[in-house]
Structure 1
Amino acid sequence: MAIRITGGTFRGRQIASPLTSKTRPTGAMAREALFNILQDVEGFHVLDLFAGSGCVGIEAVSRGAERVTAVEKNGAQARSLSASYKSLDISDKLHLCVTEAQNFLQKALASEERFDLIYADPPFTEAFPDLRPFLQLLKPTGTAVFEVPSRNVPEWTTEGRIRRYGESSLVFFSASL
């Protein structure tokens, strides 16, 4: 399956994503809306949780982000993600962590690493995780965006600002939005 980058330097370029029932890449409409709302990600350090195809991180780099830390537990998906960065000659901007998101959280808290943008798109399952603990990884001026199922929006998302895009909704957590 091919995914088209919607803006920036790589606009119109395509990256590969294995076509499996375990992947649900963020749709082009939601990605374009996300970056239109954020407007400027120049120089950002981005955390892409449940990274999957890596399309959100690549979209961020295409629009000026300096670095992406991608967290993906599936080894095959992580290799595909890495290959996409390599095909665009931006491997130097990727820090890939092949681990569970919760494991990453504990290590990141200990290291005091903080991010300008956190994007999380976990699988849409009945046991949708509470992603608020990841807000601890934001820089004081940062923004977190969590993709959740529109049909079953988790209760904890009422603390954020919700924008609906078909089957997916984006929940923004930031003092500036």
Structure 2
Amino acid sequence: MKKILILGVALLAFIGCKDGKNNEKSTVDTTDVKATELAYASFGEKIEADKALSITEINNIYDGLKTGDTLDVKFAAKINSVCANKGCWMRLDAGDEKEVMVKFKDYGFFMPLDAKGEVVVNGKAFVQETSVDELKHYAEDAGKSEEEIAKITEPKKTLSFIADGVLLKN
């Protein structure tokens, strides 16, 4: 019985000493993390908003890509449209009347149907030729009229992006 009592007292003394050492203030600044969490809704893999390329920089990258080239990048842009059926793709404004078609890695996540405003996307940028059938499908998903869909008669070079993570500005 004495051994258990002595062991208990020693354990309490050890815990008491340990807690006394941890009463120092933490020097870790969490304000940036909290600010990021409040400023953005996150979809897919966790990413940070810092070091995102501008529209000018991403345009320069796309200008240098050929069909079949792929490059890992992160950039910020304004949403032009989102798939009205389930949020499975979005189109981002790339300036100069260009758009980047964004799909989501392995259909692992979707965007809110009413998403608008600024986003930061992380993933793979590439250029592809989109078929007439696929262009018509996207136009239907976007809620375009029958007349607008009928005007689609040629394949189009598309600035494409597979996002593994997205931050939607609140």
Q: TM-score range by the shorter chain?
A: under 0.3
- Could you tell me the TM-score, scaled by structure 2's length? 0.26
Find the structure with the greater CA-based Rg: 2
More strand, by proportion: 2
Tell me: higher relative CO, structure 1 or 2? Use CA pairs within 8 A at least 6 residues apart. 2
